[in-house]
Amino acid sequence: MKQQDLDGFREYATTRRGYLRRTAYLLCGDWHLADDLVQDALAKLYVRWRRVRAKGTVDSYVRKMLVNGYLATHRRSWRREVSTPQPPELAAPSSTDDGTRELLVRALAGLPPSQRTIIVLRYWNDLSIEQTAATLGCSVGNVKSQAARGLHHLRAALDAAMFEGVQP
């Protein structure tokens, strides 16, 4: 890679790494895996940097690599989540957290990967329905229906949590 290209790549990676990492965390819910996903996506970008930058599609390319990487981890059997009798270690709620955070973590974790991806792309990355469909390589109608189902699941999880909260 030429020095000029290398400088461009380094600048992009430096400025966007944090944002990509937060997106990856919202997708997978694990900071370690999020780091891995971001490194993978940026390494792929490194290989095709000149071509992707020339097309002006750097953000969408790296986002696609990130999403593909996340969805691939769910397809690999050795990386599938394993049910345990005790809930995994959770971060202690901060003093300002009234419980919303933990509820949201659980609600997101309960979503199927595709719905979770769409929720994150639509409501965290602020992508349009068309951009989300392009990232996932699916139809606009599919994104709409999956987003609606995802929100429905989140609300259902909320109702269930509240129901548990009012039990005597």
Partner 1 sequence: MSHHPAGTPEPARLRAAFEPARLRAALATLVADEPALPSTVDDVERRGRRLARRRLTGLAAVFLIAGAGVTVGVVGLTGPGTDSGTPTAAGVPGEPAAEAPGGNPAAGGPAGAADGPAGVSDGPAGVPGGPAGVPGGPAGTGLAVGFPVGSAVDAVLTALPAAVTLGDLPMDIHWREGGRLDLPVTGGAGEATLALEVTDGGCAATLEPAGLLSAAELETVAGAVCDAWRAAGSPAIVPGGPVGEEQPEYANR
Residues 36-75, interacting with partner 1 (CB under 8 A): 39-40, 42-47
Indicate the residue type of 78: W
Complex with partner 1: residue 6 or 72, whichever CB lies closer: 6
Whole-number Å distance between alpha carbons of 166 and 168: 6
Any contact of residue 113 with partner 1 (CB under 8 A)?
A: no
Report the residue from 5, 7, 97, 130 that binds partner 1 according to the rule CB under 8 A.
Answer: 97
Single out the segment in contact with partner 1 by CB under 8 A; choices: 56-64, 65-73, 95-103, 137-145. 95-103
| Residue whose pair of structure tokens reads 């390589």 in the numeric block | 137
Whole-number Å distance between alpha carbons of 34 and 167: 36
Q: How far is the CB of 122 from partner 1 (least distance, A)?
A: 8
Any contact of residue 103 with partner 1 (CB under 8 A)?
A: yes
Residues 143-162, interacting with partner 1 (CB under 8 A): 151, 154-155, 158, 161-162
Whole-number Å distance between alpha carbons of 114 and 104: 17
User: Closest Cα to residue 122, out of 110, 36, 99, 111?
Assistant: 111
- 62, burial (CB in 10 Å: exposed 0-12, middle 13-18, buried 19+): buried
Report the residue from 101, 106, 144, 149 that binds partner 1 according to the rule CB under 8 A.
Answer: 101
Decide: 46 and 128 in contact? Cβ < 8 Å.
no
Whole-number Å distance between alpha carbons of 87 and 66: 27
Count of residues interacting with partner 1 (CB under 8 A): 47
Task: List residues near partner 1 by CB under 8 A.
Answer: 6, 9-10, 13-14, 17-18, 21-22, 25-26, 31, 35, 39-40, 42-47, 91, 94, 97-101, 103-105, 107-108, 119-120, 122-124, 126, 151, 154-155, 158, 161-162, 165-166
